[in-house]
Each structure stands twice: as structure tokens, then as C-alpha cells.
Structure 1
């Protein structure tokens, strides 16, 4: 069992952390679409946005383990966790389904400009009454002579206010269950597609999110991704990548805040001594390190399963829960160790705000536990001999 990354990946991660720290940090509070686009192009040129896309389509062809290492480095260097989150959602929820399910024509048409940062992608799937329950969506795609017509509304769509391309899930066979959904590639300027105002969010403020409305939106036949009825498969494939690789951003963010916290407790003097000498403080720091390192090992194990083509239903679900819960608790600990300074604007409170949504998106932690339990066969009696 080798815990060391290859030297070329280590060098890439070191360079990326420095690059992100220097060039990818944006406005602390107010989202600026122009600045977002500027940084997006820089991220594309650096190879972040197409890291796991094959080289023939403009990507770097990295596997899931290297991608986790890369996005951990991005989260460490980029204090704007929302921007790093947007980059990960773009790549793992949108581009990787194109790699897995797209036709050669779709791949050559879309992927190079999505990898370069010229275009931004968004995956429109969540609805007000169909979040975790994706098979009960109401957005319809009705067949016409020329293709399909979309009608419906998506909510909480990451990147939608700045997106150029949407991966949209819609019902093509009502009551069809797993085979009733179909995925479509829809340009942002399609007639009948309208993006609502960005949400004001608790955290991840550097990642723009909004509703997407479809009103008699025409979609040609060649916009179907993976064939009619394959939408749920497309979604499942995207979640395999997202639930593992996206959460690497939080590993980097936790490392950044942990390092800052260690420096703080070394320098902060109370009662004539650095507070790091107090057992209550030092033990809390050790607990923070333990949570981070444990979550990190689980996430890299899940990435190794994905890279090797093994079933990662259990490992990805457990890792997603571990990373998100560790991030929330590490944020709380970082605030507590700073005392009153912890509740003022700074790295600790920012991590906590950015971490809280991680327990919800990509399937809530409760849903992850259901998925793991189902994969283990819990709730079913073993057959008698």
C-alpha cells in the first residue's frame, strides 16, 4: 500500500496550490461575473477544468486519484472555495458524463472549449419537489418531428447564472422509473431557456446558483446524451465522479484552515503562555488533524476504486459523509479556538459556511447512508440454506 503520489503529480499539485493562491482568489463577499470569467479562463489554461478529460478532447487525461490530489491542491490554494466548487461541478457533473456517454461528434463539439475555460457548464437536475428523489421530476421533454420540447423548472443549479451549456435531465416517459429520464445538452441561448437571479447563499458565495426555467424550449435530436431513457444512467455516472473528486476541494480547504489555526494557537498568548500549551486547545487541534487525515484516506480509497473500475458505491458514500462532516466540525473547532475572533470575518467562519452545504449537495448524508446500507444488502434477509 503506497501512500505517496507519483513525483509528477506531486509537482503538479505544488504548482497548482501556488498558482491558485496567486491568481484564483476573488472577491470575498460579492460575486463578480466578469472576475469569475477572468479566473475561469486562467483555470482552463492551467488544465484544471479538463483534468480528467482525455487529451484528444483538450483535457489532461488524469485518473480519479490524480484528480483528487489536484483538487485538494486547488482547495488549499484558493480561499474562494465557491470558485473551486464551481470548477469541480463543471468537470465532474458535466464534462465526465460527456466523456462517458457522448457521441464522437458531441465530444469534439463541446469538450475542447469546456476544457479550455472558454465555456462554462451546468448540470440542471434538481427540482423543488425532486431533489434526492430524482425519478419524480416534473420537467418534461415531449417528442416532436424535429426533436423535443422542454417545459419545467430546475432549482439550485450550480453555475447557471454564468453557464454557456446546460446538461438537462427531463422526463420523456412518465412513470417510466429509471428509464423514464433523458439527458440533453442545451445551449444557454436556446429559445425558451431563462435563468433566474442568483441565490443569496449561506456559503459557497463564489459559486453562482439559480433557477433555470424552460418554456417550450426546442431541443434537436442530436442534443440527446446517451440515448432516450438513459438520463438516470448519465446522472449516476456523474455522481460517481462528483461524490469523490469534488469533495477533494474540502480536503484542501480544511488543510488551509488547520494550518492557519495551528499558527494562531502558537502565537496567541493568554495567562502568560501561548494557548497551544493548554491541553484543552492542543487536544482539540489533534482531533482536527485526526478527522482530516481519516477523511482524506477514505476519499483517496474511493478514488482508487473509481480509477480501478471497482464498485465504489460503499467507498464513495462513506467518504462523502466523512469529508463533509469533518469539514463542518473542523470549521466549528477553528472558530472555538479563536474565541470572539472566530465569529468575525475570517478563514474559520468562512470554512464553516462553505462546509455546511456539503452535507446536502451530491445527495444528502442521510441519502449516502441509505445508499451504503442498500449496497451492503441491509434490510434484506439472507437466503436460508
Structure 2
């Protein structure tokens, strides 16, 4: 049992953190053109394709290394929304293509998605189907050598800038786990329209919108996996997302913890640095405890991915641990800073960006349900 990263991964991690700090800023307002410029820069560094095999344009790294680089991106980039978008693109969209795509699909789609030339989005959530992933209403009907898709998606990360969608639809109503099918859909396909970007409380640098599908004709060779394999595609993508995506929040938490320590050493009250007061120092120790505990759980889950583990509990526990730790760590960072904590700055930004982490990738309540079911505690 070795808790240290290998020297090559540490070197890559440090390089990505430095690159993100100096090249990936946090603009005051979202601008699609500026977003794509940063995306291309990240693509040239290999960040948007870390876990994709080299023959398809990626870096060919393990899940543990991919998590380490995502943590570095979160540490160096102050736009957590951008980090989130990169992770959603990589783990929820590209990894399913690697695991379920045909050789032709991999060679057609992955190189440009790894280089940063193209951006992917995963269309799963609907107005009537969020936590209930098997309750989708978007339909796909076979018509010769095409499928015709109709329906609506919401809360779709990257949709305002996406070039391609991994779209989930029902091909067999009432078919349960085997009733869903995944499709690779070009963003400019007639009938596919994207609504205006949402205004969100957090992750403002990650564009998100509704997607409307009206008689969207998709060639049959753009089915990902096979007809009826959509739930398997989704489940696999969530294992990656619930583990490696959340590594970005570890990086943000580490950065905010370090700056909080520095602040507590410099800020003086009653003639002494506030870090000398037990109420403050213990709060910072608790921040460190949450960060390190969550980090261990996440890397354990990432190691399981590399080992081919079918464990459903570790990714769910990692998601729970990181998201809850991020929210509380942000609140503690605000409290240590006092009035400055509620002004524009990284502490209050962490709170806003961390709150959605308890919702996306399956709410934390759903994660507890999944864990309980895996433990044999499911309700009959």
C-alpha cells in the first residue's frame, strides 16, 4: 500500500498546476470565444484527454494519474467552472467512447476531442428524470438506417459550446435497464437546438443549458455500444465522474486551505495573529482533516478503477466525502476570514462552487441509497 504518487505523475501534476495558474484565468463574465481559447490551451497540455489511450490522441494515463492531474488543474485554475467542464467532457463523454465505442467511432471522434479542437456534452438529465435515470422521456425510434430522436434535456454541462453530444434516449419503453440507448450526436444536426446558458449560483465558468430534440435523425452507426446498452454506458461514465471529476475539488480545497493558513498567520487581533487562537487553529485543523480524508477515499476509488474493480461503493463514497468536505471547508474558510470572507474572493467562491457538487453526478441522497443497496439494505 503506497500513498505516494510516482515521480513522473508528480512532475506532470506540478507542470499542470503551474500551467493552470499562469494560463487559465478566471474571467469576470463567461465568454464562449475566450472559453474555447482556454480549452485549446488545455488541450495542448493534454488535460482534456488524460485517460484516453495514446493511439486516439490522449495521454494514456491511469485513473490515479488522471485524478492527480485534475486535482492539479483545480489547484492552479481559479475558475472551478472551467475545471468542472473539462472533467465532465473527459469522464462523462470521452471515457464512454473508449469503453463502448467501435474502432471507427474512436478514431473518428476522440482525436479532436483530446486535442481541444472539439468539446463534448452528456445529455442525460431531463425535466422529469434527474435522480430517476431510468425515467427518461426522450425517445429514439428506428427508421431504416437512422434513429429519430425527440425530447428535452436540461442542466446539460457544456451544451452551449458543445460540438458533439453523448445523448441518452429510450429505445424500448418499459424496458428498464435495457430500454436506454446512447447516441453520438453532432451539435449541428438539424432539429437539435440549445437554449440560453443558465445563470447559476456557482460554477459560473461552466456553461450549461437546455437541449431540445425535434425529429433529430442520427445514423445507426452513431449508436454508442449497442441498442439497449445506454444504462451500462451511463453507469460506467458515472464511476469515472464520481471519482476523477471530484479530484478537481480537492485541488481547490488545498489551495483555499493554504491561503487560509497564510491569512491566519498574518491577520492580527488582540495583539496576536488569529492563528494562535484555539478556535481558529482548530477550525483550520478540521479543514485539513476533511481534505486529507476525502483525498484518501477518492484515490482509493481511482485505484479501483485502474484495477478493474466492479465496486459500486468506493466511487459513491468518494463523491460523498469530497462534496460534503468541500462545502464545509468553504464555510470554515469564510468564517476564519470574518467579514472579508463574504466579500468576493476564493473562500466564498468555493462555497458557491461546492454547493452544486452535492447535486450533480447523482445527489448525495441518491449516493447513500446506492451504497445502502450495495450493502444489501435496499427496501423490498
Q: Same fold (TM over 0.5)?
A: yes
**2:43 match:** 44
**2:245 match:** 246
| 2:167 paired with 1:161 | no
Query: Take 1:56 and 1:314, find their aligned partners in 2: how far apart are those partners?
Result: 32
How much has 1:146 moved relative to structure 2? 3.1
**Does the 8 A contact of 1:26 with 1:36 survive in 2?**
no
Q: What stretches of structure 2 of length at least 5 have no aligned partner? A: none
Q: What stretches of structure 1 of length at least 5 have no aligned partner? A: none
Pairs within 5 Å for 1:113-152: 113-152=112-151
Pairs within 5 Å for 1:44-123: 44-123=43-122
**2:177 match:** 178
**Does the 8 A contact of 2:91 with 2:241 survive in 1?**
yes
**Does the 8 A contact of 2:40 with 2:116 survive in 1?**
yes
**Does the 8 A contact of 1:26 with 1:35 survive in 2?**
no
Query: Take 2:293 and 2:135, find their aligned partners in 1: how far apart are those partners?
Result: 36
- 1:247-293, Cα deviation, whole Å (9 max, x unpaired): 00000000010111111110001111110010100000000000000
- 3-state SS of 1:295 partner: helix
**1:13 match:** 13
How much has 1:3 moved relative to structure 2? 1.0
**1:349 match:** 348
**Does the 8 A contact of 2:369 with 2:378 survive in 1?**
no
- 3-state SS of 2:151 partner: strand
State how many pairs are aligned.
380
Return closer, same or farther for 1:37/1:380 CA change in 2, 3 Å cut-off.
closer
**1:32 match:** 31
**1:3 match:** 3
Provide the TM-score with structure 2 as the length reference: 0.99
- 3-state SS of 1:49 partner: helix
- 1:137-183, Cα deviation, whole Å (9 max, x unpaired): 10011111231111100000000000000000001101010011000
- 3-state SS of 2:49 partner: coil
How much has 1:376 moved relative to structure 2? 1.0
- 1:27-56, Cα deviation, whole Å (9 max, x unpaired): 03x111111000000000000111000000
**1:301 match:** 300
Query: Take 1:256 and 1:100, find their aligned partners in 2: how far apart are those partners?
Result: 33
Query: Take 1:172 and 1:12, find their aligned partners in 2: how far apart are those partners?
Result: 43
How much has 1:380 moved relative to structure 2? 7.3
Pairs within 5 Å for 1:277-296: 277-296=276-295
Query: Take 2:211 and 2:311, find their aligned partners in 1: how far apart are those partners?
Result: 31
**1:256 match:** 255
**Larger deviation, residues 265-274 vs 310-319:** 310-319
Query: Take 1:14 and 1:349, find their aligned partners in 2: how far apart are those partners?
Result: 26
Query: Take 1:184 and 1:116, find their aligned partners in 2: how far apart are those partners?
Result: 22
Pairs within 5 Å for 1:355-370: 355-370=354-369
Query: Take 1:310 and 1:63, find their aligned partners in 2: how far apart are those partners?
Result: 14
Query: Take 2:228 and 2:206, find their aligned partners in 1: how far apart are those partners?
Result: 30
**1:211 match:** 210
Query: Take 1:60 and 1:146, find their aligned partners in 2: how far apart are those partners?
Result: 35
Query: Take 2:197 and 2:324, find their aligned partners in 1: how far apart are those partners?
Result: 27
**Does the 8 A contact of 1:31 with 1:206 survive in 2?**
yes
Return closer, same or farther for 1:188/1:380 CA change in 2, 3 Å cut-off.
closer
Pairs within 5 Å for 1:327-338: 327-338=326-337
Query: Take 1:285 and 1:380, find their aligned partners in 2: how far apart are those partners?
Result: 40
